Structure 1
């Protein structure tokens, strides 16, 4: 770990020039004291790093210095494979590995390509934390030691013991056969089997995890996309889910889709409004979702949902009618 950090420190100085100890500490996710110790170690090893004093001082490398220590380690290579979603890397506990890997990739480029790539990257922002309405998209936090153990069991193909709390239930220990990891809308999930039955666990509800030595009972190959779709279908058609038919302003379609569990059918009426058949977790979820859209959505079925929305609107209208 320290060797990787030292390489990352050198690459940061190569690519950005002079940096303060505070900036380096923030980028490397360590204390400033650790940065100072690392600088001293690099200097002792012959790396030409020097300090510049003053208000705008910091640490820098002598011009022209280049290191060939840019080989990717296992986690960095893995982070690049999931780098299509920066938040996917975060959900699987690979955020710091992704940052380190990208430093190495940039440093390995020829100098003229490196400068161009850095300039282009500054012009692209993918999946920001807030949308245009300033609504923050918070990713679920999973402690690194827990997600590291889960990853280890998934990749090694061994059984996994987890302390897991299902919704509205106390945490319990259970031993599962891990199949794969999935991230959806910043939420990480573990697909597994338990006593031969399919199970899906949200990573944020795992409070402890230990990869065991015993081999997991699972197929040699897996199609995670298909497995996820099958589990989603079973979830949507079971329990207390509710199917709603609604007419929606096309400009608000994405809001419905983002809150619904699934879109079962979609067509456009003659007046341009969309007719959506969607599934919600329960009637309370459906009423909340459509209420957010005001007059831009009308629930056609079920009748119980129409009655719930009408009663809510009537109560609010009565409140303001009575006010002075």
Structure 2
């Protein structure tokens, strides 16, 4: 246990630069006296840790000191950082790097732990290809060369030239300032600005990408979670959204609400026991898809074009199978 704690102490100093004995004790969940003894043990073992006195003092490692525990390269280390979602690593073009990194991690384990870790890993499965209803996740395929070029521009802080194909429009070239990458349910997005305006691009619609030498116009620090939340909120309240009034079986409410952008109104029917909801969808195609998948458990009351579209689709299906 002490050996593990000594390694953790070194890694904490590597990651934070300088920490007080109190801060180290809090992170390691030991007393400050134990921390001081561990510092002495590291110094005796040749680790260049030193103390800085004063109000903002603490312990630090000599500049340039580092450990090579696994031999991970940049992409492999990055893949491990996003490995909370295997599909997330794949969406960013890091699937091969993740596999390579995991092989190195296993190889770095003591032999006594290697077999037990491999056996335990066989008992765990994260994000399988299908769920219990045999539905495949909606992950999108993005060419490795494209996502690698996008990723390099994001990390280097360079402008990016994209050939992008918006939905229902011809592809065009545009130059953007990349901000960051986000993956949601297997779909990857590039957050960027273009001429100072916020832009969000689906990676699967980027047909070609070229990192430019020009520096990107963007802040040095970024809060991707906040930016994504703000853009998602704007998306839900703008664009070609449509409002739909629905009468439906209460048992299917979650299925409808789970696909809608927002619920504007809701009330229970006094006589028939059905719910009445007013919900919004991204566009007409989204609304038609959401209501069609509910079958006879839901009825679109308005707008009329949606009723006409669903009736036309149902008529075509009935005609096809009528014989």
Give yes or no for TM over 0.5.
yes
- In the other structure, the counterpart of 1:221 is 221
Deviation at 1:273, TM superposition (A): 6.9
- Please list, as runs of the form range in 1=range in 2, the aligned pairs for 1:1-324 lying within 5 A after superposition: 70-246=70-246, 249=249, 252-253=252-253, 255-260=255-260, 262-264=261-263, 269=268, 278-299=279-300, 302-304=302-304, 307-308=307-308, 311-312=311-312, 315=315
Equivalents in 1 of 2:91, 2:251: separation in Å? 30
Given the superposition, is the C-alpha separation of residues 323 and 151 from structure 1 closer, same or farther in structure 2, using an over 3 Å criterion? closer
- In the other structure, the counterpart of 1:64 is none
Are 1:129 and 1:138, in contact at CA under 8 Å, matched by a contact in 2?
A: no
Structure 2 gap segments, 5+ residues each: 1-67
Equivalents in 2 of 1:306, 1:171: separation in Å? 29
Kindly provide the CA deviation profile for residues 212-261 of structure 1, in whole angstroms up to 9, marking residues without a partner as x: 1211111122221221222222222223211335455565455435543x
Equivalents in 2 of 1:124, 1:256: separation in Å? 32
Deviation at 1:161, TM superposition (A): 1.2
Structure 1 gap segments, 5+ residues each: 1-67
- In the other structure, the counterpart of 1:58 is none
Cα RMSD (Å)? 3.2
Equivalents in 1 of 2:318, 2:206: separation in Å? 46
Q: What SS does the aligned partner of 2:167 have?
A: coil
Are 2:252 and 2:297, in contact at CA under 8 Å, matched by a contact in 1?
A: yes
- In the other structure, the counterpart of 2:43 is none
Are 1:287 and 1:305, in contact at CA under 8 Å, matched by a contact in 2?
A: no
Kindly provide the CA deviation profile for residues 77-116 of structure 1, in whole angstroms up to 9, marking residues without a partner as x: 1111111110010010000011111112222233343333
Kindly provide the CA deviation profile for residues 139-196 of structure 1, in whole angstroms up to 9, marking residues without a partner as x: 2211111111111110111111112122222222211100001112221111100100
Q: What SS does the aligned partner of 1:227 have?
A: helix
Given the superposition, is the C-alpha separation of residues 323 and 81 from structure 1 closer, same or farther in structure 2, using an over 3 Å criterion? closer
Equivalents in 2 of 1:174, 1:182: separation in Å? 20
Equivalents in 1 of 2:291, 2:109: separation in Å? 51
How many residues are paired up? 254
Equivalents in 2 of 1:313, 1:205: separation in Å? 28
Are 2:265 and 2:278, in contact at CA under 8 Å, matched by a contact in 1?
A: yes
Equivalents in 1 of 2:94, 2:318: separation in Å? 53
CA radius of gyration, larger in: 2
Are 1:160 and 1:178, in contact at CA under 8 Å, matched by a contact in 2?
A: yes
Are 1:242 and 1:280, in contact at CA under 8 Å, matched by a contact in 2?
A: yes
Are 1:177 and 1:218, in contact at CA under 8 Å, matched by a contact in 2?
A: yes
Given the superposition, is the C-alpha separation of residues 287 and 155 from structure 1 closer, same or farther in structure 2, using an over 3 Å criterion? same
Equivalents in 2 of 1:142, 1:178: separation in Å? 17
Are 2:182 and 2:190, in contact at CA under 8 Å, matched by a contact in 1?
A: yes
Are 1:283 and 1:305, in contact at CA under 8 Å, matched by a contact in 2?
A: no
- In the other structure, the counterpart of 1:38 is none
Are 2:266 and 2:275, in contact at CA under 8 Å, matched by a contact in 1?
A: yes
Equivalents in 1 of 2:249, 2:313: separation in Å? 19
Q: What SS does the aligned partner of 2:289 have?
A: helix
